[in-house]
Every structure is written in C-alpha cells, then in structure tokens.
Amino acid sequence: MQINKFPDRTITIENKDYLYFGGTAYLGLPTHPEFQEVLFQSIKKWGTFYGSSRSSNIKLAIYNQFEDFFAQQIGAEASLTVSSGTLAGKLVIDYLSTKIQTFFHYPKTHPAILAQKSLPLFKDGNLHSKLLDDTQEEIVISVDAILGLEVKSTSFDFLEQIPSHKKITLVIDESHSLGIVGENGKGIFNTISIDRIHQKIMISSLGKALGLSGGIITGEKKIINKLKEESIFVSSSAANPAYLETYLHTQEIYKTQYQKLQSNLNFVADKLNLKGGLKFDKNYPVIYCEDDTIYDSLLKKGIVITNFKYPTYKNKMSRIVITANHTENDLEILSLALSKEKG
C-alpha cells in the first residue's frame, strides 16, 4: 500500500485513519516540531545535500565535529560517517576482506555485514568446527546487536569458547539498538569487553531511532583512518551535513524522547499479557509475533503494523513498533487488541 504522508502514531490509508505501530522511528523524531525546526535551520547553513567526496580539497568542518562527538559519546576511539548504514557495512566488510580470509556470521545477520563466503557461526547447534581447530588465523565475526525477531541484545558469551589462537575482529550492526538500548540509548558497543576480541567495529544506520540521514562506523583510529583511504569512501558522496549538525544541537530532545519511550514501554509491560507467540521486553520497543495472521487481524481493528518478507527470513516478519510519540490511549487500544487476539 502507498501513502502520501509520513506515518507517525497514525497513518491514513485510502482516506481512513489507523493507529500506526510500524516503521523504525523509535524516538519519534522525523515528525517532532522542534527537531524539524533545528533541521530547517541547519539546511539553511549547509544546504539540502553535499554531493562531494570527503577527500575533496574543500572539507566541511561539521564532519569532524560530529564524528569526534559521536565517538566520545559511544566510547570509541574514532568514528566515520557515510551516506547510509548499508554503505557503512559494505565499506567495512570489503576492507576486511582484503586483509582477512575467514569470515563467520551469526544466524540471520543483516546483509550489509555479510561477507560473500562467510561461514555460519553455528552448525547443528554448536560452534562451527573451524572456529575450534588448531589453525592460527585472523577471523571476522559479524553479528547484529539485536537479531531480527528477538527483543534482547545478542549474548556474546560464545566468544569465550573460541581458542585464543584465533584473532577475532568483531563487526556489530547497531542499526536497531542505537538510540534505544544500553545506558541512555548509547547501544552495546562499549559494553562488549571480552578478552578474545582483538578489535571490534560498530556499524549502524543513523536513520532508525536517531532520525538522521546517513550511516556511521566506529572503532579504533587505525581502522577508521584506513577506511578513509578506501576507493568506495573516496568516490562516494558524504552524509548530509545538515543532519549531522542537527544531531549536535538536539541532544536535549533526544534525552526527552528517550525518556518518553521508556515510559511507554513500561506502560505496555504493565498492560500486555504475553502469550500466543508474542515476544516483548520492556527495554526494547518492538513486539514480535510469529503468527502470520496477526497483520490482517489487527488491520481489521484499526491498527497497522510492519509486515513484509525480509531477505534473511523464511516467513514474513511482523513487527509491532512502539515509539516515543504514542499516547497512553494508543497503547491501551493496542494492548486490548493483542489481548483479544491471543486470548
């Protein structure tokens, strides 16, 4: 179905209004009036887009300002912005592929961080045998911070089982955790401190909870500096500078929206009766349902959710998304509808 206006807590389809519990605007920023006003002012300063290479002789100061601030905020040595989260993943994986031969991936890893000849991390419920053999080598393990169809952060305890002669580079996709998971929404990057890890690299879209156009990579300075030399980075347009400045100037809005989201999640946790295949955790703003009939059923009750076939999943994915902009009345209606659906 096609619509003619950005969906916030409501959506209009064929002249009929529905409650909308879909998308990825977890903090509700794309329609936030104050956030928009800061963005409008930033556009007046930086233009609608900067279609130049970051390696050009003319460089915009906002890129270093944003990247330094973001790295410090996340707890990394350095960060690098690009035009999308997918490009961030591709840039990192393509670079690592020229240095390291062996890649592994966690189940249902996002395609952006999936190397062409990557091996499954687990086989028949156990770690892949190549992770446990006597070969001394560098390896890459790619994983989503929160897997699709899950509501809790991925556990990295499996790394403790890998022998120390495997030199591990861990690539983490935080597209669906950044801004909402961890202390004040700072993600899980800085919480992963396992001795087996030689280096860790975080990639993420900025277009989910943070409401920005672009992608981000964080890690050690040496890897960030190497990525700046890659041909795909040099030849690509940069992230939109107006959005980056907006982020710097709206930290109080982010904090307020984060607190509103936490309040909404606590409200739902008190109301929702979990059964019938529903997955929910009050620290994550998504309810997953494994029942393929949920979409049509909720639609008849005036509720629209996300429902589509994702490349790395067998069936359609049904995501019921709670945002900072939903009202308690919205959440009451949703909880009642789900209770009747699964009662």
Per-residue pLDDT tens digits for 147-197: 877 899 999 999 999 999 999 999 999 999 999 999 889 999 999 988 889
What mean pLDDT value characterizes the chain?
Answer: 93
| Overall fold of domain 10-33+252-342 | Aspartate Aminotransferase, domain 1 (3.90.1150)
User: How far apart are the C-alpha atoms of 154 and 170, rounded to whole Å?
Assistant: 13
What would the mean pLDDT of 75-96 be, rounded to a whole number?
A: 97
Task: Report yes or no: 152 and 128 within 8 Å, Cβ to Cβ.
Answer: no
In the prediction, which pLDDT does 339 show?
83
User: How far apart are the C-alpha atoms of 182 and 189, rounded to whole Å?
Assistant: 9
Q: 125: which 2 tokens? A: 């419920």
Task: Report yes or no: 317 and 148 within 8 Å, Cβ to Cβ.
Answer: yes
CA-based angle 321:327:331, to the nearest 5? 55
> What ranges do the domains of the chain cover?
10-33+252-342, 50-239
In the prediction, which pLDDT does 2 show?
85
20-38 burial, b at 16+ Cβ within 10 Å, e below that, comes to bbbbbbbbbbbbbeebeeb
In the prediction, which pLDDT does 31 show?
97
In the prediction, which pLDDT does 230 show?
96
If one counts every other C-beta atom within 10 angstroms of the C-beta of residue 58, the result is 7
In the prediction, which pLDDT does 200 show?
97
Read off the amino acid at residue 39. Answer: L
In the prediction, which pLDDT does 275 show?
66
User: How far apart are the C-alpha atoms of 190 and 80, rounded to whole Å?
Assistant: 17
User: How far apart are the C-alpha atoms of 202 and 172, rounded to whole Å?
Assistant: 5
User: How far apart are the C-alpha atoms of 217 and 91, rounded to whole Å?
Assistant: 9
Per-residue pLDDT tens digits for 28-52: 999 999 999 999 999 999 999 999 9
CATH 1.10.3720.10 fits 50-239, yes or no: no
Pairwise pLDDT comparison (196 vs 264), residue with the higher score:
264
Per-residue pLDDT tens digits for 286-332: 999 878 789 999 999 999 999 876 665 566 778 999 999 999 999 99
